[in-house]
Amino acid sequence: MKRLTLPARYRAANKAQENPYGAVVVALLFLGALLLSARPVFGRTTAQNKQFATIDAYARACPATAKTSLDAVAIYLKKATFNDMEKARSIYVWLTAHISYDDKSYNSGNYGDNSAEGVLRSKKAVCAGFADLYTALGLRMGLHIKTVSGYAKGYGYTEGDGFDDSNHAWNAIEIDGIWRIFDATWGEGYGVTGSKGQLVCVKQFNADWFDVEPEYAIFTHFPENPADAFLTTKLSLSEYVRLPYYTPRELYAQNKQPYQLIADVKRTKKIP
């Protein structure tokens, strides 16, 4: 089947968003960060959430002088981090705070420059722009990171819907030898339908899509390259479509076992 052009794939993209370098400013922002950082992240303790409070505040406080180039942003963010998870977190929060989902271009079908450099200039992007900027900054900060393209069950999705082509992009990062899933687009906000049927993106930070185990992410994110699923069992696109719809938070809250649900689908023959 002929692959869609990049603009066409963007149109199918998931409808989905003086110098604070010093420790003094970070300390002043710490208390505010406890409130602004994130809704409690599924499967993680309060103590673990609090450990990112200073990093989150620092990333959000990034000044214009530190956003002049990809190198400048990476240098700024790296100053507040000590390990790969903290680097991944600082970029995730920076992206969700300083880049907005470009619903206007999505609705018009006229996309601008979604390269990492282009997004840094415009401060707007669709999913591919978010993911490529995440990768560009991550590589500069020494992360083992990649952009992943694939099929997402996002805004407008109805359970059981099929896919004509891939429609989303996100990131995978290897931390301590284990690949994890990160989606800054969905972390930036969510989409609603406007009065004229158009996509309207609501900017609202969501930490649920930061550091997701692959077996939990697979219920909403299926890669074009099966190897980028990082699962211990193979899953086809048709099987992914037949997986019940759960967000990672829902799987945790309902104590669902991802691999058991996957096994159930694999045992069930597709209904014609």
Q: Which domain holds residue 249?
A: 6-267
The packing angle between helices 53-60 and 23-36, to 10°, is 110
Q: Is there a contact between 231 and 214 (Cβ–Cβ < 8 Å)?
A: yes
Residue 1 lies in a domain: no
Could you tell me if residue 123 is inside a domain? yes
**146 occurs within a structural domain:** yes
The stretch 10-36 carries a mean pLDDT of: 38
Domain count, the chain: 1
Evaluate whether residue 159 is within a structural domain. Answer: yes
Give the integer Cα–Cα distance in Å for 32 and 14. 31
Q: Within a domain: residue 207?
A: yes
Dist CA 247 CA 34 (whole Å): 24
Domain for residue 189, yes or no?
yes
Q: Is residue 272 in some structural domain?
A: no
pLDDT given at position 112: 84
Category of 214 on φ-ψ map: left (φ > 0), alpha (ψ -120 to 50) or beta: alpha
| pLDDT of 39 higher than 90 | no
The answer on pLDDT for 271 being more than 70 is: no
Mean pLDDT within 215-221: 98
Q: How far apart are CA 180 and CA 134, in angstroms?
A: 14
Does residue 60 register a pLDDT over 80? yes
pLDDT at 197: 83
Share above pLDDT 90 across residues of the chain, in percent, rounded to a whole number = 68
The rounded percent of the chain whose pLDDT value lies above 70 is 81
The DSSP bridge partners found for residue 193 are 199
What pLDDT, in 10s, does the model give residues 62-72? Answer: 999 999 999 99
**pTM of this structure:** 0.83
* Structural contact between residues 16 and 199, judged by C-beta atoms closer than 8 angstroms: no
d(CA 79, CA 35): 23
Q: Please indicate, yes or no, if residue 245 is contained in any of the structural domains.
A: yes
